Structure 1
């Protein structure tokens, strides 16, 4: 982010470019939107296939850990694995192509944007429930565990996925692979390419959850996460922001699944 120089008014209005990391040269890769579409197809196909194999669980019975692992975690993990594989086969590996590099400065940036996201999400969720009702504001995963008690191992696995593993996988797909596909296009400048990547990945991330009634709410959730990626130029910041944003909902689902609280 641009800082004020001596003699420059501190009250200067921020522009979009103030949130964009300085351009850095990286080796070119040979994958683009086709790679992202392939990963999305793998995600949807694996979810449908695993769902058909798992079959329904009788109402009132605890969800077995196998259903939690297969039905909610495995499709996203497979898709993220394919995304990483694409960067290895047709690029320079995930560290360079997906900007998957660890820096403590990015962690702090992710924490700040994640906390901002928590505030915005909480306010937006409250307004959303007042407008459309609690049922329509419930996520697909919340609906999955609604009125069902989980075993402790299954609830712990679900919490770990919602809080950390899920954000890592989703960031690899949307603000890693999709972001890189957008930046690969010919833009007037690298900064404009990154702004376009931020806008498109934010919209696609919200729409990809396939929850039409919650798309507007998901857009609000996605903006601070994308800003963390935009401001650092790397994926670690958005992963941390995503994990922070998911923490309280993950705790709520954990307590509800264990029958310790009702939300």
Structure 2
């Protein structure tokens, strides 16, 4: 079924809903498969050998990268392509908005984390998983470079396609107020990371990154904001190492 404005409906809803839930389902399914495989075969890995532990730890990023598969497949099947559906090719305006909102996200995340530490104590507020990742590698930076590329480029693209791409488009198509779309997508963004003690900070950062999508009307601005937000943690991979 196709609406007058050319937006394809699947099961009565905008196709982006199907693409969103497909991406989420694939993410959790791959997480389960990897967990089962690692738990079964972990004895075969020697944590003292980098050539073993590097690929093993990078498996943690695979489900995240697959988040973009649902949006990509949906856009190919029912939409007009990633660039037309989501505005994935950045303009200079996207860059300016993205960098501004990414900086805001860093400030918001920093302040909210300070607040959480003041309330709950440093021991009860978890560090970023990237801190443990850096501590695990020993003697070679190849895997750290790959991890940094995924953190700066891979994760922002796939997460933004899913959350500020398919979910945002679907909610907007069904005439959900823009501020509600911003809040809902930020909640999903925070929950998707699976870090309970940092959920409030992630929600605040999600609002800031979502502003890039709201102000520009394009996912590419959100990707740039997300990448800017992830840049300092990625750099810290090497500092901690």
TM-score (norm. length: structure 2): 0.84
- 1:23-60 CA deviation, whole Å, 9 max, x = no partner? xx974133042331221010011122123323446566
Kindly report which structure 2 residues correspond to 1:13-92, keeping only aligned pairs within 5 A, or say none. 27-30=6-9, 31-55=15-39, 56=42, 62=50, 64-72=53-61, 74-92=62-80
Kindly report which structure 2 residues correspond to 1:190-201, keeping only aligned pairs within 5 A, or say none. 192=177, 194-201=178-185
Call closer, same or farther: CA 1:134–1:27 in 2, change over 3 Å. Answer: farther
Q: Distance in 1 between matches of 2:128 and 2:82?
A: 30
Would you tell me which structure has more helix in proportion to its own residues? 2
Call closer, same or farther: CA 1:125–1:58 in 2, change over 3 Å. Answer: farther
Of the candidates 100, 111, 114, which is equivalent to residue 123 of structure 1?
Answer: 111
What SS does the corresponding residue of 2:60 show, helix, strand or coil? helix
Q: Distance in 2 between matches of 1:32 and 1:70?
A: 27
Of the candidates 150, 162, 186, which is equivalent to residue 151 of structure 2?
Answer: 162
Q: Distance in 2 between matches of 1:60 and 1:221?
A: 36
Q: Distance in 2 between matches of 1:60 and 1:121?
A: 34
Contact 2:152-2:231 at 8 Å conserved across structures: yes
Kindly report which structure 2 residues correspond to 1:1-263, keeping only aligned pairs within 5 A, or say none. 27-30=6-9, 31-55=15-39, 56=42, 62=50, 64-72=53-61, 74-135=62-123, 136-143=125-132, 145=133, 147-150=135-138, 151-187=140-176, 192=177, 194-256=178-240, 258=241
Runs of 4+ in 1 over 6 A off after TM superposition: none
Aligned to 1:10: none
Q: Distance in 1 between matches of 2:46 and 2:117?
A: 29
Q: Distance in 1 between matches of 2:93 and 2:103?
A: 16
What SS does the corresponding residue of 1:28 show, helix, strand or coil? coil
TM-score (norm. length: structure 1): 0.77
Q: Tell me the matched-pair count.
A: 226
- 1:50-109 CA deviation, whole Å, 9 max, x = no partner? 23323446566646332243222x212222123211111022221222232321111011
Contact 1:27-1:92 at 8 Å conserved across structures: no
By how many angstroms is 1:141 displaced?
A: 4.0
CA RMSD of aligned residues (A): 2.3
Unaligned 5+ segments in structure 2 are 10-14
